[in-house]
């Protein structure tokens, strides 16, 4: 049995560029890609906190240390500069892998400053 699970997440990153006339993709600071374990050209889901849009694209590498999140091509209609987004990558895991699986999550503070990392989401209380 296999399960599709959250592999990595960048939580509440701020879109720094929205470029309609660029080959479709999402450029992400290379240091964040490495830290999250997201590969260049890997499929990602983007959830726009500000307008509710949810869409699929792929990651490309932006300059290391740039703090860049650039939503490009047709997806630029779904996220504008300044929007806060959640970027997720998912992967298939075997039953054996599930026992030790921990996602890599990066949490952003305003200005795309990396606040902290985690490998678990706190239990939501009533």
Average of per-residue pLDDT values in the chain: 96
Q: Is the pLDDT of residue 1 over 90?
A: no
- Identify whether the C-beta of residue 5 lies closer than 8 Å to the C-beta of residue 93: yes
Q: How confident is the model at residue 122 (pLDDT cuts 50, 70, 90)?
A: confident
Query: Does 124 have pLDDT greater than 90?
Result: yes
Q: Domain range spanning residue 29?
A: 2-94+101-118
CA dist., res. 62 & res. 68, Å (int)? 6
Mean pLDDT of 29-41: 98
Residue 124 lies in a domain: no
Residue 126 belongs to some domain of the structure: no
Assigned domain for 37 exists: yes
* Structural domain includes residue 123: no
Q: Catalytic residue numbers?
A: 25, 58
Binding site residues, as ranges? 57, 73-75
| 19, part of any domain | yes
Query: Could you tell me the pTM of the whole model?
Result: 0.95
**Residue pLDDT, tens place only, 37-72:** 999 999 999 999 999 999 999 999 999 999 999 999
Is residue 83 in some structural domain?
Answer: yes
Query: How many domains does the chain contain in total?
Result: 1
> Are the CB atoms for 55 and 75 separated by under 8 Å?
yes
Q: Evaluate whether residue 125 is within a structural domain.
A: no
Q: pLDDT digits over 76-99, tens only?
A: 999 999 999 999 999 999 999 999
CATH number reported for the structural domain that contains residue 56 in this entry = 2.40.40.20
Residues of each annotated binding site for substrate? 57, 73-75
């Amino acid at each position: 049995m296999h399960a599709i699970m959250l592999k990595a997440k960048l939580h509440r990153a701020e879109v720094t560029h929205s470029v309609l006339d660029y080959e479709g993709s999402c450029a992400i600071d290379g240091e964040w890609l490495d830290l999250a374990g997201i590969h260049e050209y890997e499929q990602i889901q983007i959830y726009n906190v500000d307008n509710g849009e949810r869409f699929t694209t792929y990651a490309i590498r932006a300059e290391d240390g740039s703090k860049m999140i650039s939503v490009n091509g047709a997806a630029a209609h779904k996220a504008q500069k300044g929007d806060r987004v959640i970027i997720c990558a998912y992967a298939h895991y075997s039953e054996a892998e599930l026992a030790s699986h921990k996602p890599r999550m990066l949490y952003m503070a305003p200005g795309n400053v990396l606040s902290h990392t985690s490998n678990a989401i706190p239990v939501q209380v009533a």
